[in-house]
Every structure is written in C-alpha cells, then in structure tokens.
Structure 1
Amino acid sequence: MDLSRIGWLLTVATCAIVAVACLASGYQGYAAVTAAVLVAAAINLFD
C-alpha cells in the first residue's frame, strides 16, 4: 500500500468519525457536508 492510498484512507476514516459525531450532536448540515467530503475522498481509493 503506497503512501497516497494511506493518506486517503485516513481522510475517509476521519470524515466518517466526524460525520457520526456531528449527527450525534444534532448537526445534520455539517454531517451532510462531511459525508460529501467522505464520498469525494473515497473515490480516490478506487484508482
């Protein structure tokens, strides 16, 4: 596994944690934006 793939994987994991935390705190808008960033970052894992 190369370094760029590890970086994107960490980005996806961080976004997932933040999205869940935002939902748990009642911030649906921030959770949606974070989920969109998560999807955009996850696309880079499929190279």
Structure 2
Amino acid sequence: MRRNVIGSVEQMTGLQVVEVNIDVTDLQLPEDDEQHPLHDGTRRVR
C-alpha cells in the first residue's frame, strides 16, 4: 500500500516523495462483507 501511495503521488505531482505516513483504521475483505453484522451496504466515512 505504501509503495502504491508513493508512486501515485510522484506520478501526479512530478515530485520525489521522501516520506509517507499511513494510518489504516479499517480493513474490509470482500469475503467478510456479507458476514459483518454492521454491514448495511453503505460506506463509513471518517
């Protein structure tokens, strides 16, 4: 994930990225979506 963010930012801006801080607060896997008790088809935004 970190490499993808760096590559995308560098490609969009033409700048060299020297540091990326990523904080993952939630992760949803496709096979878990239907089994999750709070899943109602909407995405949660923070």
Give the TM interval when normalised to the shorter protein. 0.3 to 0.5
What is the TM-score normalised by the length of structure 1? 0.33
Bigger radius of gyration among the two: 2
What is the TM-score normalised by the length of structure 2? 0.34
